[in-house]
Amino acid sequence: MNMHKEVEVIAHACGVPEPRRLRRFHARIVQDGGNSVPFNKLFPSPDETDNDPAAAIAASAPATPARLPAGEIAIPAQS
């Protein structure tokens, strides 16, 4: 359970809502001399959403945003 929690913390620090949305461009490999290189530059993926932040955002965006009628407020479901 602690490992799951820590991976979720890392995902949120990278700006994604859950670990499944982490992509290759989120990881960096430290090279000799202390420089870091994005993982997707060293090992590109055939899936463009793993290599390009803009493609990943476009792929995860909803097709059309949900609209509420005027005067309505969204209340999150309680679990």
Q: What pLDDT, on the 0 to 100 scale, is given for residue 66?
A: 62
Which helix (H) or strand (E) covers residue 54, if one does? helix 53-60
One pLDDT digit (tens) per residue for the chain, 79 residues? 999 999 999 999 988 888 988 888 888 999 999 999 999 899 988 887 788 888 777 777 665 556 666 666 666 666 5
CB atoms within 10 A of CB 1: 5
In angstroms, rounded to a whole number, what is the distance separating the alpha carbons of residues 79 and 70?
27
Q: What pLDDT, on the 0 to 100 scale, is given for residue 50?
A: 80
Q: Going by C-beta distance under 8 Å and a sequence separation of 6 or more, which residues neighbour residue 22? A: 10, 11, 14, 16
28 touches 37 (CB < 8 A):
yes
Q: What pLDDT, on the 0 to 100 scale, is given for residue 79?
A: 53
